[in-house]
Structure 1
């Protein structure tokens, strides 16, 4: 977790062109077999997307991420094609992803290329599906369009979310900078008003009780 936090903090400190390049590299690494357990591609994308506050920045980040995700999936497919079922027995998958590997393989056998598309939106399974697709024998001419479509849709969703988060943060910051003190002051005044009113009612109640005591004694 410390490594992930360090990477995300490093991303935030980068200038815009380097940020886009680094985000693409993280997404590429996440899509390659095994590296998805280490590279925070999705988190890094959301961090980068908070800076996509203009149309050119949005489109460039979307294009770079979609291409890098597709290339990463293609590399994962090639690895699966080369090593086959032996990948399941590797230490990395045995440690982190045996269940996910089996699920990905099962869905691929039942759904084919559709599984490649929808797996893009599922953490962990997203990392293993390209290699599992290569292992299962799914043809590359069917795999590539599904992987590209999934990458385009997934990257659009996350860039949009990140951009919206960034815009919301700016608006909140603007409210706090300009009208925040006024809002806080009004809320404080209201709180003080009701507090004083409550204390006054409590004091009047005690006074009534004391006034009633002599009457009872008579």
Structure 2
């Protein structure tokens, strides 16, 4: 029996290939993580973007371990749609949570699962971009988790929120999953199996997705006076 390593919890491939009693549960884990990252404020540490990109690479396995569906495109389309729906439901949960407990969150002390600074940064981000923040945040770690909560706190119009919620969720899931699936095919034709280079893929995606966040934080850093 392979010894469990806690570092696997931040490795997207671990969730995708997870099985219990010989039954592959990767699809259900992916869907739950998407919901948790966007619907539960404790989900900000979960591997969102890299998880979806790798889900695109493993799309056929994820779908056909649950139900056999012929046709490559259909498998990717169904996976992307399922992920998008979970993203919509996650944001709806976050919005509801923010509307019901906004005051409590701003008074809450920091814990391992909750960092108020992320909430405040997301609030600034939301005030700067308005409804578009829901779309931008979907592609940014941390902000992706807190944007719907902030929308609920500031009582954003529900119809407007749902429009940006649905649009952003489908853009996020379809772009990343289709990119993962078809880039895998392109590289495979060149003799490169991306499944053997997962670590590098994760690092590249993490750098790309966190760069805008780091840039924003650096810009906010006060300049020391001489």
State the TM-score, normalizing by the size of structure 2: 0.66
Pair 50,7 (structure 1): closer, same or farther in 2 beyond 3 Å? closer
Q: Which structure has the bigger radius of gyration?
A: 1
Contact 1:87/1:93 (8 A) holds in 2: no
SS at match of 2:46: coil
Partner of 1:69: 87
In the alignment, structure 1 segments of 5+ residues that lack a partner are 176-218
- 2:16 corresponds, among 7, 11, 14, to 11
Contact 1:27/1:72 (8 A) holds in 2: yes
Return the structure number with greater helix share. Answer: 1
1:101 deviates by 1.9
Counterparts of 1:162 and 1:40, CA distance in 2: 15
Partner of 2:7: 2
Within 5 Å, give how 1:69-218 maps onto structure 2. Answer: 69-92=87-110, 97-173=115-191
Contact 2:8/2:14 (8 A) holds in 1: no
Aligned positions, number: 175
Deviates more, 1:97-106 or 1:86-95: 86-95
1:4 deviates by 2.1
Counterparts of 2:146 and 2:172, CA distance in 1: 16
Q: CA RMSD in A?
A: 2.9
Contact 2:108/2:116 (8 A) holds in 1: no
State the TM-score, normalizing by the size of structure 1: 0.68
SS at match of 1:23: helix
- 1:49 corresponds, among 45, 53, 56, to 56
Deviates more, 1:77-86 or 1:157-166: 157-166
